[in-house]
Amino acid sequence: MKRLVIDASTLVSGITGSRLESPPCVIYDAVSEMSVEAIICPLLLGEVERALRKPYFRELIEDREIAEAVSIIRDAGTMLDDPANPPAVLRDPTDDYLIALA
């Protein structure tokens, strides 16, 4: 089974996507079907949930669906601790934790 660290924006796009064949939708479906092992941490789950609660997505997804999607990711993934003090390697330092998680 493939192990993946997936950026929150990819997961959010997959959760809210309307084109089922789009890469984010295919990735989210693979996670929810447990055909890949998603490596996750509390920070990543929080980022997904916060993004889904932004006004833009509120028109696309209900509270119940947000809770369900976060639960699916949590249940289907392998939970690790949030990386402590990840080294700065990316242009967006808020994503450095993903590299450390990988």
Secondary structure (H, E, C), the chain? CCEECCCHHHHHHHHHCCCCCCHHHHHHHHHHCCCCEEEECHHHHHHHHHHHCCHHHHCCCCHHHHHHHHHHHHHHCEECCCCCCCCCCCCCHHHHHHHHHC
Q: Residue with structure tokens 């080294």?
A: 87
pTM score? 0.91
- Helix 23-32, helix 8-16: angle, nearest 10: 90
pLDDT computed for residue 60 by the predictor? 85
The residue-averaged pLDDT of 59-84 equals: 94
pLDDT tens for 10-38 read 999 999 987 878 999 999 999 999 999 99
